[in-house]
Amino acid sequence: MTEHNLNNKNAVIQFLNLTASGLVAEAFELYVGQEFRHHNINFKGDAGSLKKAMEESALLLPEKKLEIQFAIAEEDQVAVYSKVTIYPGEPGVALVHFFRFSNNKIVELWDLVQTEPKEIINENGMF
């Protein structure tokens, strides 16, 4: 892995950990570029809308926990597979983020969520 890829991977991990812990403004200031856009279908596609939603989530769900399972960096893109537990004792959801960088800043973000069903056929589970 090149130093550039490692830097992007570390930036994404820091961004996700900061936002999950409620330090959303800091995460956006440090890691998000001016031309940022995202593809979460639940919010408008600009940085301000997503930032506001993340700040509200941190206030409404203070026990939310993010566990990054792995991250992969290639060129200017980083993919992260995580487990997010909204409340302690719940099984959690699988969350996949894809980030695109330009000039060492996050400029685009996609995310996908999968809830864990009550009955799982696969003995390996989601995590």
Q: What are phi and psi of 72, to 5 degrees?
A: -125, 130
pTM: 0.93
Angstrom distance (rounded) from CA 85 to CA 68: 11
pLDDT digits (tens, 9 = 90+) for 70-110: 999 999 999 999 999 999 999 899 999 999 999 999 999 99
Indicate whether 87 belongs to any domain: yes
Hey, what are 19's tokens? Answer: 């936002």
| 94: containing domain | 3-115
Indicate whether 121 belongs to any domain: no
pLDDT given for residue 4 in this prediction:
82
Nearest-Å Rg of the Cα atoms of the chain is 15
CATH (domain of 35): 3.10.450.50
Indicate whether 106 belongs to any domain: yes
DSSP 15-50: HHHHHHTT-HHHHHHHHEEEEEEE--TTS-SBHHHH
Indicate whether 127 belongs to any domain: no
